[in-house]
Structure 1
Amino acid sequence: MIKVVRGNPTPEELAAALAVVRARAAAGPEPAPGAAPPPPGWSDPARIARGEIRRPGPRAWARTYWPG
């Protein structure tokens, strides 16, 4: 709940202030100063398991050999 302590804001001013407060609340908490930033999405190991896991075919072992 928001309470106006001083002044007499117009409905437009109050709506603007409320919009700013709601936008900040929707953005989530700010990280603490000096805290490590979260890892980027590309390094998330869970992204590997997002797709369908396919089973190898009957001759898949033959494609694993690399002559060299």
Structure 2
Amino acid sequence: MKVDIEPEKCVGAGQCVLLAPEVFDQRDEDGIVELLATVPAPEAREGVREAAAVCPAAAIHLVEG
């Protein structure tokens, strides 16, 4: 799995950080998503999938494989 984000689409909801804190963070100044790992560890992948599914701005994209 590879993770890609579109920070310009992010609305700062923070669900991604709650679901996969080892992969996502938020900038202090505006809450916009930051990617900590483009290739998440196997144990983080389910949280990353859920984060992508619930992102209100559809700013998280996954490439499985």
Q: TM-score, normalised by structure 2?
A: 0.25
Look at both structures and tell me which one has the larger radius of gyration over its CA atoms. 1
The structure richer in strand per residue is 2
The higher-RCO structure (CA 8 Å, 6+ apart) is 2
